[in-house]
Amino acid sequence: MKKLLAIILTIFIAVAGLAFATKLLEPKYMSGVLEGAMIEEYYDDPTDHNVVFIGDCELYENVSPVYLWENFGINSYIRGSAQQLIWQSYYLAEETIKKEHPDIIVFNVLSMKYNEPQKEAYNRMTIDGMKWSSSKIGSINASMTEEEHFIDYVFPLLRYHRRWSDLDSDDLTYLGHRDKITFNGYYMRVDVKPAENIPEGKPLADYQFGSNAYTYLDKLTKLCKDNDVQLILVKAPTLYPYWYSQWEEQIVDYAAANDLPYINFLDLQDEMGIDWNEDTYDGGLHLNLAGAEKMSQYFGKVLSEEFKVPDRRGEAELDSYWKQVSDRYNAEIERQNTNLKLYGTVHGPEENQ
């Protein structure tokens, strides 16, 4: 009996040690590259969303769910991550529909430019934060580059065991928790860097979207139709990466053939009041807070009036939830503006940029 207990205790200590080492060594994404923490935050939101945005930085830096709530009563979330590929968007949509039943899923079409897996670092920023499910397994299998191995996603310690020499204070501070870095998926920047000398797109050898990208767009379309979820295709208004007219034609044709709404916000810059001298923080790649709220004002009206998304202000649970998010949102605006005045950057001196 003592021998059995000793074996059980040894196994327990070994498993606990491996779990601790994994938690210690996995990236925390609390400073520097923050985007890796975004996907996991979704699971902390207890509410049911009417609108879920799924895609890359052209959504999570250009739309403000807080603004949509405060001005239209739209309960929304952005399931965004850096260079999110369309198959990753599909599996996030699949997982979302299993967890809740949004009325609308909004998908940004820029990722159609990618037909094959790209980089492990970006894969990790989308996949590691997902909870284990058939959707996560599907996303891993669809996303892995030739150098990656499925087992490394199952046991992250195999991938990150060499981080011992790179450990810093964040790895201990955030061993058991993470701070919120987004506001229902929105990544905020209040600073301004005007868009100047935006390059024209270089000619491509082939403008046709790839078959793999189309396969997953078809799957996303079918997923939404089978589950009575309205899919809206959008192209964000940002100036770069360049959006080719040949790409635009393909999306317009696809939307028409599949009876899907498609909104190209590049064509609506004047209606939204976007000023590229004031409404971007990085020279036209992304909108800043002022620009994101302008886009949210326009899109919120479309969602409310054309797609009849309900105004849910007055629901006690949602009012309570959004008060907390709005308080953090306003505090972050104040923090970034204060840092701009003191240091000339939204980052404080203690932050790793």
Contacts of 181 (CB under 8 A, 6+ apart): 29, 30, 34, 37, 38, 41, 187
pLDDT of 350: 73
Cα distance between residue 55 and residue 49, in whole Å: 16
| C-alpha of 147 from chain center | 25
Is the bond preceding 237 in cis, omega lying within 30 degrees of 0?
no
Question: 59 near 233, Cβ under 8 Å?
Answer: no
Nearest Cα to Cα of residue 287 among 266, 256, 304 = 266
Give every strand in the sheet of 230-235, ordered side by side.
Answer: 76-80, 51-55, 104-108, 230-235, 262-264
Pairing mode of beta strands 51-55, 230-235: unpaired
Cα distance between residue 79 and residue 41, in whole Å: 9
pLDDT of 352: 57
- Taking the chain (353 residues) in runs of 10, the rounded mean pLDDT of each run is 73 68 64 82 96 97 98 98 97 98 97 94 93 97 94 80 70 71 97 90 94 98 98 95 96 98 97 97 96 98 98 98 98 97 88 61
Cα distance between residue 237 and residue 252, in whole Å: 16
Length of the chain equals 353
pLDDT of 159: 74
User: How buried is residue 17: exposed, middle or buried, by Cβ count under 10 Å (0-12/13-18/19+)?
Assistant: exposed
User: Where is 105: in which H helix or E strand?
Assistant: strand 104-108
User: Where is 264: in which H helix or E strand?
Assistant: strand 262-264
Can you list the domains of the chain with their CATH numbers? 31-194+206-343 (3.40.50.1110)
pLDDT of 18: 64
**Phi, psi (rounded to 5 degrees) for 128:** -60, -35
pLDDT of 13: 74
* Bridge partners, residue 280, by sequence: 287
CA distances from 84 to 50, 79, 160 (A): 22, 10, 22
pLDDT of 10: 73
Question: b vs e for 109-125, b when ≥16 Cβ sit within 10 Å of the residue's Cβ?
Answer: bbbbbbbebeebebbbb
